[in-house]
Amino acid sequence: MVDFTLTDEQTDMRELAHNFAEKEMRPVAWELDKYCAWPGDVIQKAWEVGLMNTHIPEEYGGPGLDFLTGCLIEEEIGWGCSGIGTSLMCNGLATAPIVLGGSEEIKQKYLGMLTEEPKLASFCLTEPDAGSDVSGMRTTAVRQGDKYILNGSKCFITNGSYADYYTVYAKTDKEAGHKGISAFVVEREWDGVTVDKKEDKLGQRASNTATISFNDVEVPAENLLFEENRGFKLAMMTLDRTRPGVAAMAVGIARAAFEFARDYSKERVQFGVPIAMHQAIQFMIADMSTKVEAGRLLTWQSASLLDQGKRNTLASSHAKRFAADSAMEVTVDAVQVYGGYGFIKEYPVEKLMRDAKIMQLYEGTSQIQRLVIAREVLMPRRVDEPAPAAA
């Protein structure tokens, strides 16, 4: 039997997130977008009400919520404002490698840091010449006694300017391709870490995106995550866990656009009737609704596989690919329903269209998701493997 009934806790968390999105995010979202402003106050409030770090296990001070609950929260946050939402949810991506591959001391220190205070962490994988092709990275970490010397540069880092620490991927064996990558926790205040360029973006302008450089940074050997040269696998396992959340955020954007378009179509009169009476508009609204519902189902499936301890690589790429592409399609159609007004900043939907674009790009483009899906369905053997253990 497939039962979509949520537990009381899941329903409560979803309601908490929805109320937060409505009262704390929506009223400031368009202004923050306009000025590309940092949502520090919203982050502080989200931390206080318990909407951040929900994935951190109880033994490190978090609530240890399941993945499905995390997705319920992310959909509401995405509905409120995905720009602010990306900043709010970034700790989940940055700390997944620690949850999966950190030693007990590292978990206590760095997960505890986020649950004790409203601090931030960032995930540093992408480089100027290594985006989809993770193994092409050039950042290096060379072992010297009880430390590694880190050199390189990471770009498009969410919350990069504000993070207290980074989970950084670097080559520890330059000749070994994906088998020569390792992951480390690196603090922003350490000598040699610099926050460089802050990006001026098309959408999600309330989230901070920066370049971070590492120049002879001394990283204690105990800050190595998982095992040396197994960082690529750790990155892939991390993305399997976080892509359902990205999909949920995309569903939230699509749902917001659908609701705005649906309501507007009932008010706007053309040819003597509300445009909702015209079949051309009805079919667009119908397709929007289907895409929201289908995206949510794929998202829930990908999260619930994780909650059952099963490998979700295929489901996670299905969800992320479909929900991200749907968010783009639905927001473009919402602008179309608004007609000329949709193109004007005074109306809400052009922001959603700009915000949706990044969903098809970050945490693996829609093309990379298709590549993963193709490999998984052409080699079904891998699908049935158990979730890889972290240690």
Residues that are catalytic: 363
Contacts to ligand CAA from residues 295-324, by CB under 6 A = 313
Report the number of secondary-structure helices (H) and strands (E) in the chain.
11, 10
Q: Exactly one of 45, 55, 154, 233 binds ligand CAA (CB under 6 A); which one?
A: 233
- Which residues lie closer than 8 Å to 388 by C-beta, 6 or more apart? 233, 237, 311
User: What is the smallest separation between the CB atom of 90 and ligand CAA, expressed in angstroms?
Assistant: 6
| Per-position x/- string for 79-118, each x denoting binding to ligand CAA as judged by CB under 6 A, each - no binding | ----------------------------------------
For position 69 contacting ligand CAA by CB under 6 A, the verdict is: no
Query: How many Cα atoms are found within 13 Å in the side-chain-facing hemisphere of 42?
Result: 28
- Of 139-147, 151-159, 181-189, 349-357, which part binds ligand CAA (CB under 6 A)? 151-159
> Measured at the alpha carbon of residue 243, what is the angle toward residues 295 and 333, in degrees to the nearest 5?
35
3-class SS at 91?
helix
For position 181 contacting ligand CAA by CB under 6 A, the verdict is: no
- Of 12-20, 234-242, 256-264, 341-349, which part binds ligand CAA (CB under 6 A)? 234-242
Exposure letters 206-243 (e unless 16+ CB within 10 A, then b): bbbbbbbbbeebebeeebbbbebbbbbbbbbbbbbbbb
Rounded Cα distance, 276 and 157, in Å: 42
- Of 104-112, 131-139, 276-284, 298-306, which part binds ligand CAA (CB under 6 A)? 131-139
Rounded Cα distance, 299 and 285, in Å: 21
Q: Exactly one of 110, 123, 184, 322 binds ligand CAA (CB under 6 A); which one?
A: 123
Phi/psi at 184 (5° precision): -140, 155
For position 144 contacting ligand CAA by CB under 6 A, the verdict is: no
Phi/psi at 217 (5° precision): -80, 130
Contacts to ligand CAA from residues 338-367, by CB under 6 A = 362-364
Q: Exactly one of 183, 239, 319, 328 binds ligand CAA (CB under 6 A); which one?
A: 239
User: What is the smallest separation between the CB atom of 238 and ligand CAA, expressed in angstroms?
Assistant: 9
Looking at 200-287, which runs of residues are DSSP E strands? Answer: 209-220, 224-225, 269-270, 273-274
- Give the interface with ligand CAA as residue ranges (CB under 6 A): 123, 125-126, 132, 134-135, 156-158, 178-179, 232-233, 236-237, 239-240, 313, 362-364, 368, 371-372, 388
